Amino acid sequence: MEVALILLAAGKGTRMQSDLPKVLHPIAHAPLLEHAMASGAALEPARTVVVAGHGADLVRAAAQEFDEEAVVVVQDEQLGTAHAVAQARHALAGFEGTAIVLYGDTPFVQSETLEAMCTALTNNDVVVLGFEAAVPARYGRLVMDGDSLDRIVEFKDATDEERAITLCNSGVVACKSELLFDLIDAVGNDNASEEYYLTDIIGIARARGLKATAVTCIEAETMGVNSRADLAAADAAFQARTRAQMLETGVTLMAPDTVYFARDTYIGRDTVIEPNVVFGPGVTVESGATIRAFSHLEGCHVSRGGIIGPYARLRPGAELSEDVRIGNFVEIKNAQIAEGAKVNHLSYIGDAAIGARANIGAGTITCNYDGVMKHHTHIGANAFIGSNTMLVAPVHIGDGAMTGSGSVITSDVEADALALSRAPQVEKPGMARKLFEILKAKKAKQQRGS
Ligand code: UD1
Ligand code: MG
């Protein structure tokens, strides 16, 4: 059956103490909302509706950056979770499949768990995701009747006996879309919070003779974020899980706890990651590469056999072909580096293409910015760029060409040519010795005088 996602993301997140809507705070370089959308995306939803409130324009932009077809509806007043879901009604008009309600601030619900809920829905009318809470605190409690879910009671409205229940409500619900909105119509706000509780749909469904049940997952999946401390804890949990997955899929992490991954980091097997490496968003590393210590990568691709770092910085648009070597204190931005090329020391390569097996000497800079516009540098295959060459873009260095150390290259160099642009060397025999004598005499005179 087709699936639609409804993501609740209207809450302000007061405890974040932030101008940014809570669901846009990132873990692993991606907004919380994106994590929640990604777990639902595995079900290939026919429609995705995000219910925004505080900071709705920012939430819309983030939602549509992940899924440009996502529909964002605005809940002007936060009157409760049932009221929030009701805002999605028009966006789901005519949709006849299963609606799944997720929270934008609950990033770790696994796709397999959502699939299990869809399966349970084949014999039930409503399925709720529950978990055994170590500390049930203020969660809603699931009141079971054998395998059936009889009702959900909110903590504030619960009796002592109900508060003793440890099976808690995660908030995730699966229900046939039309039935969901039908049940929501019957929800009132006569409760301790005077809110329209989505949880009330269970009691309403049971009273109508419909069947409800709970699917359970581990507590870690239902972890929600309400504060900066929660955000840090959620990020730590994400990192721990990702490191374990990387190790399992054949990536060597020399010091796992010191490597930071983004939500979308991809690393092929037999790649070695040394300590203290940071992955920003959009990085793919093929098999058999080595990322050496203290490197920082974002928006880049490293091919098979590449050796990066230590202390390298790969910025967005760095596309490295096979067996490329990028050494210490080298920054690469928006540049294609062809196979076997080497940029080993202290260089900036930006807005450039470097040919196969070219060797870029220490201290080379592509001067790509004139203060107003960016310009391109092309370096041909097998070229040899002497140390401390300034390549003033736009400039084209032909295949097999050389530049002399310390040159400032302002015009194109043809293939196989040597370009030099520096003052010719002069030599004055004996002059160094004479200079030393003069200087030493001067110093001795000063010391006598003092
Ligand atoms: C809710 C559940 C509770 C469950 C808990 C799990 C209800 C009534 N209670 O309680 O059973 O154990 O989540 O964390 O559903 N939201 C809106 N608009 C609103 C209200 C909420 O978009 O008008 C969003 C919030 O931004 C949040 C989510 O819905 O992402 C849950 O709301 P929250 O106020 O945190 O509900 P809880 O009281 O925690
Ligand atoms: Mg909550």
- Check pocket membership of 101 for ligand 1, CB cut-off 6 A: no
CA distance linking residue 204 with residue 213, whole number of Å: 13
Q: Which sequence spans correspond to the domains of the chain?
A: 3-222, 228-419
Q: Which ligand is nearest to the CA of 13?
A: 1
Going by alpha carbons, the residue nearest to atom 36 of ligand 1 is 81
The answer to whether the beta carbons of residues 115 and 148 sit under 8 Å apart is no
Give, in degrees to the nearest 5, the angle at Cα 79 between 8 and 6: 20
Going by alpha carbons, the residue nearest to atom 8 of ligand 1 is 197
- Check pocket membership of 224 for ligand 1, CB cut-off 6 A: yes
Q: Give the number of the atom of ligand 1 that is nearest the alpha carbon of residue 168.
A: 12
**Which residues have a Cβ under 8 Å from the Cβ of 125 and sit 6 or more positions away?**
175, 176, 179, 205, 210, 211, 212
Radius of gyration of the chain (CA): 31
Catalytic residue chosen out of the listed positions 345, 375, 378, 396: 345
Task: Dump pLDDT digits (tens) for 404-413.
Answer: 999 999 999 9
Q: Give the number of the atom of ligand 1 that is nearest the alpha carbon of residue 140.
A: 11
CA distance linking residue 116 with residue 410, whole number of Å: 64
Going by alpha carbons, the residue nearest to atom 11 of ligand 1 is 140
Q: Which ligand is nearest to the CA of 104?
A: 1
Compute the distance from residue 380 Cα to the ligand 1 centre, in Å: 59
- Ligand 1, pocket-test mutation among 24, 77, 103, 190, most atoms within 8 A of CB: 103
CA distance linking residue 5 with residue 177, whole number of Å: 10
- Check pocket membership of 103 for ligand 1, CB cut-off 6 A: yes
- Check pocket membership of 169 for ligand 1, CB cut-off 6 A: yes
The answer to whether the beta carbons of residues 114 and 105 sit under 8 Å apart is no
Class of domain 228-419: mainly beta
CA 267 to chain centre: 14
The answer to whether the beta carbons of residues 288 and 306 sit under 8 Å apart is no
Q: Which ligand is nearest to the CA of 194?
A: 1
Q: Give the number of the atom of ligand 1 that is nearest the alpha carbon of residue 103.
A: 30
- Check pocket membership of 130 for ligand 1, CB cut-off 6 A: no
Q: Which of the residues in the chain have pLDDT under 70? A: none
pTM score: 0.93
Q: Which ligand is nearest to the CA of 83?
A: 1
Task: Dump pLDDT digits (tens) for 202-218.
Answer: 999 999 999 999 999 99
CA 124 to chain centre: 36
CA dihedral 190, 196, 200, 201 (to 10 degrees): 130
Compute the distance from residue 2 Cα to the ligand 2 centre, in Å: 28
Q: What architecture does CATH give domain 3-222?
A: Alpha-Beta Complex (3.90)
Compute the distance from residue 124 Cα to the ligand 1 centre, in Å: 23
pLDDT reported for residue 267: 98
Compute the distance from residue 224 Cα to the ligand 2 centre, in Å: 7
What is the DSSP pairing of strand 312-314 with strand 330-337?
parallel
pLDDT reported for residue 1: 86
Which of 263, 253, 191, 251 is CA-nearest to residue 27? Answer: 263
Compute the distance from residue 51 Cα to the ligand 1 centre, in Å: 12
Q: Give the number of the atom of ligand 1 that is nearest the alpha carbon of residue 51.
A: 22
- Check pocket membership of 221 for ligand 1, CB cut-off 6 A: no
pLDDT reported for residue 12: 84
pLDDT reported for residue 27: 98
- Find the helix packing angle between 177-185 and 200-207, rounded to 10°: 100
Compute the distance from residue 47 Cα to the ligand 1 centre, in Å: 22
Annotated active-site residue 345? The verdict is yes
The answer to whether the beta carbons of residues 140 and 44 sit under 8 Å apart is no
Output 256-261 pairs: Cβ under 8 A, ≥24 positions apart.
260/28, 261/28
For the chain, how long is the longest CA-to-CA vector?
109
- Check pocket membership of 74 for ligand 1, CB cut-off 6 A: no
CA distance linking residue 262 with residue 299, whole number of Å: 11
